[in-house]
Structure 1
């Protein structure tokens, strides 16, 4: 039987088989070797087609091994590109308090629900536009974590201490002096070395297990027990309990409520791993760029998961020290403490499958789980008990939610109107800016009313003396 020889072959003929770039040269090299072994062109083309169809079968060795490796690598890249493609339409999800939510927040949630890793989600009534996932967004993914689905302030959280003192047992001047002495606010701030606190979280071995954690340890240790800027606060107020609960009798108590996060440590972890995720998905649709993810079965995914959870513990440690300082200064021990994180990701069963549930500005609300939903510097906050609503992924709002952005608030709200609002409610404010004015937030009563199927209200906290960082313009 006559055969046409491999020497008649050229790059165009191999290209017709679907080979690209480097693979063409490797295919020609292999074809030449097979020609020398006595094979004709048709047989060689048949073999090349078989290698292209299933390169993994040729990886163990032989004349086609180099070509097979290149083809397998190209296939992996193509699969990765395909995996980055967004769904044409978002998966369905429930929205609570849709009448309170700006269109930009739902648009962001729609993008999140088009991710190939997304499985289900929900939007809370305090939702507003954020970076990546909207604030108030809850998103369940499969085997992947999204750094910006958690947010920059990893582990941002709340804590309430109910004290064994009458609601009017502390004067405004005394409360003000205690807050000035025992709390610190703002970017880069810390306590003086001789009074800086210590906490078991600083002695975890976890800090030594990643270079970024080792690098950030000193700053984290320096800032322990302090609060950041923006909407973080520590405040004295009245906790009202309409009926016996929380192992407390019905009545009014002096209480401390705080909102704080993981400081610069968490922010640097978030930015580091967001860049890592974006580098991993260079072809991701620009609309979803801030939602780049890390597969949990990768070194980067495990690294972020470890650092995220450490930041969550560190954030709660900041609350521990803040509340311990104030209780110690008053010479009392709290009767009850309630706390929760609202910027974190959890492994959670959803429909019988393990999912990674991101809550970016959302309160965990499993059935019976206690949580805290604050209002503003002059509006009440609430202790709530979760109802475990499956459609909400056992979540609730994390606060009132903004209705004006920081710039819009600073540019449109009048200082005299904000001051009048504070006076009417008997609020003494230390620091705080126009960008954090109560009028910049939705009405907390409306937000709570929109989620009656998510949580039950247990008690109410009414602020009296509030400390925050200074804003763009102080109130």
Structure 2
């Protein structure tokens, strides 16, 4: 850990580019930050504030710092199977089954909500939450069909094996189109308020526009933010239940007993805001690309496709604001990765792993990300590692 002089900023990353540092300095300079901003080991530049930034604020929230994929995160579930149980089975067939069960890529939603018996209960829960909290979803009439869909970018589904050769189901996704609409709506509201209150010229950049506690706009954002975070949590759970059914069928097990295949589950956000106590004060803590690492809290830290991932337990590090990295973190932008690497490079890096081949995923090549082993070494004071996972199957959104 290193304090960046002259700023309320602590850095846990051994490798940072200048743009990430400057973004973090801008965020830390906001007058309501308390006690400091923490940069996680996987930090890299992002929109408004750097990804991998933990931002504690007094009586205000910055919607763009939370981000447009509200509640994005990871879910991992350990199964009853060992790697030896999969011997001789066609992983490509499981990949195709997963692609059929879970709509992939932005804009791809379910044709209906009746295919699986567990979907309706989740929709009813979210409908009730929206009604009780007066959440306006008029901008997203398809949100029900979005539930159980993956999305694109670095969202993925994987079958993994841990250090004891136990098989895990693993996936990464968030609040999909509905969460994006909620985020964009409130980012614009915050920017409009800054203009009305003559605050725009005092902001390091427009994407640090904030909503003050006590205003109607703040209260509305917090209600809709909470709903989007719950949608993201339920979305991952929905996809994991579908994954479990597909795995059962692939293994020749009655899919109605698929719940018996699962031993344990960890479902965590890494893009969200929550009220916590830090530096002796109650703050709104925004983890933008970071996970909760309070003492004993379990979390999931994925590597890039083709590298290791981790199940961890938090150490409650106060300097790190009880947080930890959310993954490897990008080293090269998507555009730069496409300039540097080819589809053959990707195939070489994914040797021995079943995955979706093609140029669409070049920008997700492991070389475009930071070294996950270095990230985890930098995070040694933040979390302890429980399990180390390696992929045997990967499905990416496009």
Q: How does 1:104-253 map to 2 (within 5 A)?
A: 104-119=19-34, 120-170=36-86, 171=89, 172-193=91-112, 194-195=114-115, 197-200=119-122, 202-203=124-125, 204-208=127-131, 213-216=136-139, 218-240=141-163, 251-253=164-166
> What's the counterpart of residue 234 of structure 2?
317
Equivalent runs, 1:456-475 vs 2, <5 Å: 456-470=384-398
Alignment map for 1:333-348 (pairs within 5 Å): 333=259, 334-348=262-276
* 3-state SS of 2:40 partner: strand
Q: Which residue of 2 aligns with 1:281?
A: 194
- Whether the 8 Å CA contact 1:199–1:317 is kept in 2: the answer is no
Aligned equivalents of 1:137, 1:328: Cα separation in 2? 36
Question: Quick check: which has more Rg, 1 or 2?
Answer: 1
CA contact (8 A) 2:349 2:365 kept: no
Pairing of 1:299-378 with structure 2 (within 5 A): 299-329=216-246, 330=248, 331=255, 332-333=258-259, 334-378=262-306
Cα drift, residue 317 of structure 1: 0.8
Return the alpha-carbon distance in structure 1 between the equivalents of residues 271 and 381 of structure 2. Answer: 22
Residue 211 of structure 1 deviates from its aligned partner by 7.4
Residues 140 and 201 (structure 1), Cα distance of their counterparts in 2 relative to 1, 3 Å cut: farther
**2: distance between equivalents of 1:225 and 1:376?**
22
Equivalent pair of 1:365/1:387 in contact (CA under 8 Å): yes
SS in 1 for 2:141: helix
Shift of 1:430: 1.8
Contact 1:365 1:386 survives alignment (8 Å): yes
Mark the runs of 5 or more structure 2 residues left unpaired by the alignment: 249-254
The DSSP-based 3-state class of the residue aligned with 2:303 is coil
* Residue aligning to 2:179: 266
Q: Between Structure 1 and Structure 2, how many residues are aligned?
A: 369
> TM-score scaled to structure 2, two decimals?
0.89
1:202-225 deviation line (CA, Å, top 9, x unaligned): 434332367762314532101100
Cα distance in structure 2, aligned partners of 1:198 and 1:343: 26
Structure 1 unmatched ranges of 5 or more: 1-88, 241-250, 471-475
TM-fit CA distance, 1:327: 1.5
Partner Cα distance (1:441, 1:118) in 2:
29
For the 8 Å contact 1:201–1:317, the answer to whether it is kept is no
After superposition, give the CA deviation of every residue in 1:157-204 in whole Å (9 maximum; x if it has no partner). Answer: 100011111224333134223322222211111122142633435434
Taking only aligned residues, the RMSD between alpha carbons, in angstroms, comes to: 1.8
Q: Find the residue that maps to 2:370 and give its secondary structure.
A: coil
State the match for 2:356 in structure 1.
Answer: 430
Taking structure 1 as the reference length, what is the TM-score of the superposition?
Answer: 0.75
Tell me how far apart the structure 2 counterparts of residues 217 and 405 of structure 1 sit (CA, whole Å): 30
- 8 Å CA contact 1:207–1:217 kept in 2: the answer is no
The aligned residue for residue 18 of structure 1 is none
